[in-house]
Amino acid sequence: MELALVGQLRPRLLIPPPLAVVGGFRIAELVALALCDKADRVTIYVEGRDLGLPLALGRYCRLELRYGEIPPDVPRIDVSVAPYLLRAGSVDCEGVRADLGLGGGVLRECKPLETYADLVANNVDVMRSAIARLKELGVDLLRGEAGGVVKGEAVIWGKTHEYTYVVGPAVIGPESEVLPFSYIRQGTALYYGVRARDEVKNSIVDAYTYKEHHGYLGDSYVSAFVNFGAGTTVSNLKNTLGPIRPSYSNRHYAKLGPVIGEFVKTAIGTLIYGGKYIGPLSHVYGLVDTDVPPLVIYRDGEIRAMDGAKIPQLLERDLSRFGLGQKAAEYLKALEELTATTDK
């Protein structure tokens, strides 16, 4: 079966939106999960570059991703409604429709997921649907190493060390580790090759991100290749208990941490306000109480452009740690395309 995933999510990141993570899996994987016992192979076309990102579901669903131009005869599904296809083969979310041709009723009680904040807000529900689907397919939820305590349903395909406490639903993906003396709360998704310590709650953490030191991470979207310095903590709740209104969304949220782009680095002791956006490859220090654009150094309210001559070297260093050095040119082109747009 062939289909294409199209559309954008706000704010703009480097990773193509069909490969954004929600419910513990990439959106393309969720669509494949809905179809993998109904088709020999699921082929999904993605507008964007092949950045060499890992997939967690490869051994369970025969999913092939094809990048670049989408053939005109391939059905298109908007990424904003694709996660709902785990609940029904046909959806109509405020006029945004998708149909996998599986028959059955139409899901109408849904809103398009237009931003990464929307992914966070709906993360637990999507995760429950994904886990239920895995169980329906007979997939073993525990094929990693589970130390410590696990309460509720959790996918553990990586490793949880001793002296850890995991509350499901949660997804600890392949090669991910929950380090000792950590509290992993409901909705946490450590996608692939992630290292996490201390407290994480309802946060989506994409591949090869390291949070190895103390600090709180809650209700946040963290893209790939991010490194948190010791003591980095985010806020997800206003002192007034009022709604958080991020600049990139026309919706508001009771609890929301930051959206953090690829390759971001936080210094020791960094504090990040709820609802903020930190753009790809930026380095942040101190108190982050405003949005931070891509490719800058932010220090306590002052923004300085990163030295452009150093960017290729920074990318190559990061990617080489994970065997992706050959993809540095693709990431550099993706950065150039991102910064050429004014729409975050």
pLDDT tens per residue across span 278-303: 999 999 999 999 999 999 999 989 99
Res 13 pLDDT > 50: yes
Res 343 pLDDT > 60: no
Output the pTM of the full model: 0.97
Outline where the chain has alpha helix (H).
27-35, 116-121, 123-136, 311-320, 328-339
CATH code for the structural domain at 145-339: 2.160.10.10
Share of the chain above pLDDT 70, in %: 99
Are 79 and 9 contacting, i.e. CB atoms less than 8 angstroms apart?
A: yes
Place of tokens 């995760």: 127
So what's the pLDDT on residue 58? 79
Cβ neighbour number for residue 239 with a 10 Å cutoff: 6
So what's the pLDDT on residue 124? 99
Cα separation of the two ends of the chain:
33
| Residue whose C-alpha is closest to residue 222's, from 185, 180, 179, 191 | 191
Q: Where are the domains of the chain?
A: 2-122, 145-339
Cβ neighbour number for residue 156 with a 10 Å cutoff: 24
Are 3 and 34 contacting, i.e. CB atoms less than 8 angstroms apart?
A: no
Res 223 pLDDT > 80: yes
Question: What are the tokens at 18?
Answer: 């069909």
DSSP string, 25-58: EEHHHHHHHHHTTT-S-EEEEESS-------SST
Segment 103-160, tens digit of pLDDT: 889 999 999 999 999 999 999 999 999 999 999 999 999 999 999 999 999 999 999 9
Cα–Cα distances (Å) from 177 to 73, 157, 191, 226, in that order, read 42, 9, 10, 15
